[in-house]
Amino acid sequence: MEFKQIKLISILTIILALSLGVVSYFGTFVSRTYERDATPMAVQGMGQDIVDLFLVVPLLLGTLVLTWKHNKASFFLFGGTVFYILYSFFIYAFGVHFNELFLLYCLTLGTSLYLFILIMIELNKMDVQTWFSNKIPVKTISVYLIVTAIMFYMLWFKDIVPAVLTNTIPDSVADYDLLVNPVHVIDISFALPGLIITAILLFKKQKLGFILTPIFLIFIIMLAIALIGMVVMLKIKGINDTVTIAIFFIIMSILSTVLLIKYFKTIMGD
C-alpha cells in the first residue's frame, strides 16, 4: 500500500513547500507585500501567512514523510493539507492585488492543483473502504458536513442576495476594491457543494466518500485555524475588536478534530 507515483508526488511537494514558504515569509515579514490591498484584507492575509508558514509548510512536509512509511491516516492528512493550499491560493491568485509574488501565487496554485489530482488518483487505486471498521460515525459526520455547508451558504447569501436584488455591490467586494469576492466564488461553486456531495457519498458508504471525508475534515480544521489567525491579526492591528467570530471558528475546528480522530480510530491495522 503506497503511492505508485511517490517520486513525482515528492518532487511536486518539495516545490510546493518552497513556494508556499517564500510567499508566506514575504506576507508575514515584508510590509510591502500587501501595500496595494485594502488594509483589512492585507492584515487578514498576514494572519493567514503566519499560519501557513509555521503550521502548513511543516505539516505538508511531515505528512509526506509519513506517506513514505505507508501510514494510512497520513494519506488523508497529506491530501487535506494540499487541498487547503489549493483552496487558499485560488483566493490569493484572484483576490490579492498584483505584486511581486504573483508568479509564485500561480506556481503554488498550479502545483497544489496537480498534486491534489495525483493524490486523488492514487487513493482511488487503493481499497480505501476496506481500511475501516463498521464503527465510523457515518450519520454524525454526514450531518456535520451538511450543516457546515448550510451555515456558510447562509453567511454568504446574507451578503450576496440583498446586493443581487438591489443591483448593488456587496460590502465585501466594494470595501476591498475587488471585481468579485473570490471566497464567494470558490465556496458557492466548489467547496460547499463538495461538502454536501461528500456527506451523501459517506452516508451511502461509497469509496469516494471514504476518501473525501477525512480530506474535507482536515481542510475545515486548517481553514478554521487560518480564519482564527486572521481575526487575531485584525484585533492586534486595532481594525476589528470583535472576537465572537473567532470563538465560532475555534468551536468548528474542535468539532472537526474530534470527528476526524473518531474517523481515524476506525482504521484497522497500519
Read off the pLDDT of each residue in 259-268 and give the average, rounded to a whole number: 93
Residue 27 is assigned to a structural domain of this protein: yes
pLDDT value of residue 239: 86
Q: What pLDDT band is residue 244 in, cutting at 50, 70 and 90?
A: confident
270 falls within a domain: no
**What are φ and ψ of residue 237, in 5° steps?**
-85, 0
Q: Are 104 and 22 in contact (CB under 8 A)?
A: yes
Domain range for 206 is 6-264
Residue % of the chain over a pLDDT of 70: 98
In this prediction, residue 270 has a pLDDT band, given cuts at 50, 70 and 90, of low
Question: Residue 98 has what DSSP assignment?
Answer: P
Q: By C-alpha distance, which of 77, 117, 30, 111 is closest to 217?
A: 77
How many domains in the chain?
A: 1
Q: What is the pLDDT of residues 53-77, one digit of tens each?
A: 999 999 999 999 999 988 899 999 9
Structure confidence at residue 175 (pLDDT): 81
In this structure, is residue 158 part of a structural domain? yes
List alpha helices for 30-101, DSSP H: 39-51, 57-68, 72-95
Establish if 1 belongs to a structural domain.
no
Domain for residue 205, yes or no? yes
pTM: 0.95
Sequence-distant (6+) residues with CB within 8 A of 141 are: 199, 202, 213, 217, 259, 263
For residue 148, which of 219, 74, 252, 239 has the smallest C-alpha distance? 252
Which amino acid, 35?
A: E
Reading the block at residue 135, the C-alpha cell is 464503527
pLDDT average, residue stretch 203-216: 96
Collapsing DSSP to helix, strand or coil, 148 comes out as: helix
Task: Report, as an integer, the average pLDDT of 109-115.
Answer: 98
pLDDT single digits (tens) 174-184: 888 889 999 99
Give me the chain's average pLDDT, please: 94
Q: What is the pLDDT of residue 269?
A: 65
Going by pLDDT thresholds of 50, 70 and 90, the confidence category of residue 99 is very high
Is residue 240 included in any domain, yes or no?
A: yes
Are 152 and 219 in contact by the 8 Å Cβ rule? The answer is: no
Burial 101-131 (b: 16+ CB within 10 A, else e): beebbebbbbbbbebbebbbebbeebebeeb
Residue 115: its pLDDT value, please? 98
Q: What's the whole-number mean pLDDT along residues 160-172?
A: 92
- What is the model's pLDDT at position 246? 85
45 in any annotated domain: yes
Residue 269 lies in a domain: no
**Is the confidence at residue 242, as pLDDT, over 80?**
no
Residue 113 or 69, more confident: 113
| 3-state DSSP of 222-253 | HHHHHHHHHHHHHHHCCCCCCCHHHHHHHHHH
Q: What is the pLDDT of residue 245?
A: 84
